[in-house]
Structure formats: C-alpha cells, structure tokens
Amino acid sequence: MGDNIALTEAVYYILLSSFEPMHGYGIMQNVEKLSAGRVRLAAGTLYGAINTMLEKHWIEALPIEKNSRKKEYSITDEGRNIVDQELKRLRELLHNGEIIIGGTKK
C-alpha cells in the first residue's frame, strides 16, 4: 500500500497533527502553527482530505465523547507507515537538492 506516492502538504500535516487525537478545528490550527502560518487549510479542503484518509484507514474517527459534539481523529498504524515512507521520500528530495545546489556553493 502506498508505493511511491507523494503526499500533499495538507495530507502530510494532517497526519502529523493526528498523532494526538484532534478535531477538525484543532487540526487546522495545529497545521498553521507547525508551518508558522504558511499552510492554511480551507475548511472544504480539510473536510475532503479527512474523508479520503478515513476511507484509506490512515486515520480513524474516535467515538464521540458525551460532552462534545465534535469528532476527533487519530492516526492508525497504516497512517504511521505512510508518514515514514513520506519522510524517506522527503529526505531523498532534500539530499539530492543539497548535493547539486550545495555543491556549487562549496
């Protein structure tokens, strides 16, 4: 599952956010904080991404607590695998970029 796929920024940051159970609004705020305000998830974009990731079982919806109406999401083992693969891919991108560009600088 998930061979050679490049995650979108939104998906990558949503996965990172869901290492701790979080509801939609919390994810949006967390992603903005992680990226120092650079990545802002529009509500519809976030909703689409969450639903696709639920279907793929990368995240799961936690049972709704009594005093809360908001659904919380948490990463699954499958999701953790995807993040690991993505980190590997990102390292490769970074590595190659630095070799070529860093080489000329040195």
Partner 1 sequence: MRRTMYKWFWAWDFEKEEKWLNEKSAQGLQLIDVGFCRYTFEEDQQGKYQYRLEILNNHPSTAKNIAYIRFLEEMGVEHVGTLFKWIYLRRKASEGSFDIYNDLDSRIDHLKRMSNLFFWILLINLFALCLNVANSIQFGNTSSIVCVYVSAAMVFLLAFGILTVSTKKGTLQKERLLRE
Binding site for partner 1 (CB under 8 A): 8-10, 23-25, 28, 40-48, 70
Taking the least distance from each CB to partner 1, the nearer of 45 and 81 is 45
Taking the least distance from each CB to partner 1, the nearer of 19 and 25 is 25
Task: Please report how close the Cβ of residue 14 comes to partner 1 at its closest, in angstroms.
Answer: 12
Taking the least distance from each CB to partner 1, the nearer of 40 and 57 is 40
Nearest to 31 by CA among 44, 14, 7, 43: 14
Classify 61 as helix, strand or coil: strand
Distance CA 80, CA 99 (A): 29
